Every structure is written in structure tokens, then in C-alpha cells.
Amino acid sequence: MNNDIERILFDEEQIQTRVAELAAQITNDYQGKRPVIVSVLTGAVLFTVDLIKKIDLYAEMDFVDVSSYYGGTASSGTVKLLHDLKHSIAGKDVIIVEDIVDTGRTLKFLMELLEGRGATSIKVCTFFDKPAGREVEVATDYVGFDVPHEFLVGYGLDYENYYRNLPYVGVLKPEVYQKNDD
Ligand code: PRP
Ligand code: MN
Ligand code: MG
């Protein structure tokens, strides 16, 4: 699996240092509050687990499952809700946690889904932001790193549902796509 990676963009230590900084910022910003961490399956799981352990607050944890890439390298353009939240967010301070915001479609879909459910506030924490990929306008409140317009894998980010379990983030060798994109 490691042999499929052309170059590493963020190693495990850089990732964990940045996660701790974001958690400290959220802990500080939500003093006296009990945020609901809404993690977006599947990609955001690794980041969510690391982040929530470092947030020093009463925090709820819930999940939504949405998908638009279906394993490939390009957004299908249609976002589907595969699984809704387990708990009500009415009267709650919600933090949507994503691994990456690229075209922005997933996040826009989620904002539209969750707005109108009576949350006190909704903010977005994404570990990676790819501003050059943006096709619809969305706001991000907490960002780990801005990344270049390249297809990345690792730390939750997948290609055909693989590579999520890499502890670092890197760029796949082109032959990996070429082998499969026919
Ligand atoms: C990926 C990623 C984000 C979304 C970002 O999810 O985890 O949720 O795409 O892309 P966008 O800004 O262009 O919408 P994906 O649909 O691949 O599902 P997954 O998390 O299960 O891999
Ligand atoms: Mn996702
Ligand atoms: Mg994916």
C-alpha cells in the first residue's frame, strides 16, 4: 500500500500537531457550551476520533453518512444522504467535522439538510480545504491545512475505499489510477 504513494504531503506528526491546535481552539471557543460533533462518514472518521479526544468539553458525537464520489477521483455532482443523525440537534451548537472540502457540494448539501432543524449554531471544521476545487460557495470555520488541487489519500481520504488507514496524507502514483480507470 505504501508503495502506491508518490509523495507525502503531511506526515503523522504534522497531522497530530495540527489536530491538537484545532482541538485547543474549539475548546477555547466553546467554553461553557456542549457542542455536538457531527462527523461525516466515512472520510472524517479518523480526524474526528483524534480531534474529539483532545477537545476538553462535554461533547456529543453523532454521524451522518453522505457520499458523492463513490470511490473514484471525481465528484459525481450528486450528494446522497445514506444515513441521518441519531439525535436531534435542536437547541444545540453543532460542529460539522469533515476530512476535506473540495467542490463544496457535500458541505452545501449538509448545511441545507441541517439548517432548519433548530440548531443554535452550526460551524464547520475541516482538516483539509482545497480552495481551488470549489464549485459552490461554502464557509469553513476551522481549517487544518489548505491543500493543492491534487487527489490526496490517507488519514480518511480514499481511492476506491482504500488508503484511508494511512496515518499520513499523500499523492497516489498516476499508474494506480491508470490501472483502474479503464
Ligand atoms: C469526500 C470527502 C468529503 C467530500 C468532499 O467524501 O470525505 O466528504 O468528498 O468533496 P466535495 O467538497 O467535492 O463534496 P466521499 O463522497 O468520497 O465519501 P467518503 O467520505 O465515504 O469517502
Ligand atoms: Mn466524505
Ligand atoms: Mg471518498
Q: What is the pLDDT of residues 131-174, one digit of tens each?
A: 999 999 999 999 999 999 999 999 999 999 999 999 999 999 99
Q: What is the pLDDT of residues 42-51, one digit of tens each?
A: 999 999 999 9
Find cell 469553513 and name the residue. 140
Q: Do the strands 60-67 and 36-41 form a parallel or antiparallel pair, or are they unpaired?
A: parallel
83: part of which helix (H) or strand (E)? strand 80-83
Please give the ipTM for the structure prediction.
Answer: 0.98
> Does the CB atom of residue 40 touch ligand 1 within 6 A?
yes
Q: Are 67 and 123 in contact (CB under 8 A)?
A: no
What's the predicted TM-score (pTM) here?
0.95
Active site residues: 102
Find cell 435542536 and name the residue. 90
In the chain the domains, ranked by start, together with CATH numbers, are 12-148 (3.40.50.2020)
> Does the CB atom of residue 142 touch ligand 1 within 6 A?
no
Using the CB atoms, write b or e for 44-75: b if 16+ within 10 Å: bbbbbebbbeebebebbebbbebbbbeeeeeb
